[in-house]
Amino acid sequence: SIDLVYDDTQFLTCGEGVSLWDIEKSQKISSWSWGSDTILKVKANPVEKHLILCTSMDRGIFIHDTRTNQSLSKTYLINKSSCLCWNPREPINFTVGNEDHNAYTFDMRVLTKARKIHKGHIGAVLDIDYAPTGTEFVTGSFDKTVRIFENESGKSREVYHGKRMQKVYAVQWSSDNQFIFTGSEDINIRVWKAYSNEKLGVISDREKLKNQ
């Protein structure tokens, strides 16, 4: 996994451990390792850049401070978490996608219990990304569907599925909050509307007045 540190020239990579790099240097700046477990995903906090969030093969989810050599907190779920994402508007909260078909939203200050469990998928959640507003997130799953969840809702408000679409390995919410991009096993990239009822294209003056 790889993640760019927000508004910086540094980026993170993970595998056997976590490494911090600078795009202007060929050698890593720092590296950290926590035993022999492989780190699956790493994400830098969008505000507190020294805080990184990781998931590992031992079913762990932990937060690490790059200024020290110790993890700040760690929790375990029954199944492995394959993906994670910080909330861009409330960076104390983050959501992870799990192999038990659910997504879990946590408060980084209290990892002992999930704030919300989001259900609906019937396969492992493979990728997750937040809307720029921070009020919703999108998930891609082994069950060949894309679901959109509101932060405080346990059920999805939207389900997208293509007739020939296979397992969804990558999802991304556009910066203008209008589209969702997905990459799936059938070697296709698809573009979906973030809000299916919204009209795209030129809107007449009458429609603008009606929507006000």
- Write out pLDDT tens, residues 135-177: 999 999 999 999 999 999 999 999 999 888 999 999 999 999 9
- Write out pLDDT tens, residues 95-142: 999 999 999 999 998 888 999 999 999 999 999 999 999 999 999 999
111, 139, 144, 146, 190 from 164: Cα distances, Å: 39, 18, 9, 13, 11
What pTM was estimated for this model as a whole? 0.87
The predicted pLDDT at position 144 comes to 94
Can you tell me the distance from the alpha carbon of 157 to that of 98, in angstroms, rounded to the nearest whole number? 19
The predicted pLDDT at position 207 comes to 78
User: What does residue 206 show for φ and ψ, rounded to 5 degrees?
Assistant: -65, -40
pLDDT averaged over every residue in the chain: 90
Residue 75: both structure tokens together = 């929790």
The predicted pLDDT at position 105 comes to 96
Can you tell me the distance from the alpha carbon of 96 to that of 5, in angstroms, rounded to the nearest whole number? 19
Residue 37 pLDDT > 90: no
Residue 36 pLDDT > 70: no
Under 8 Å between Cβ of 157 and 197: no
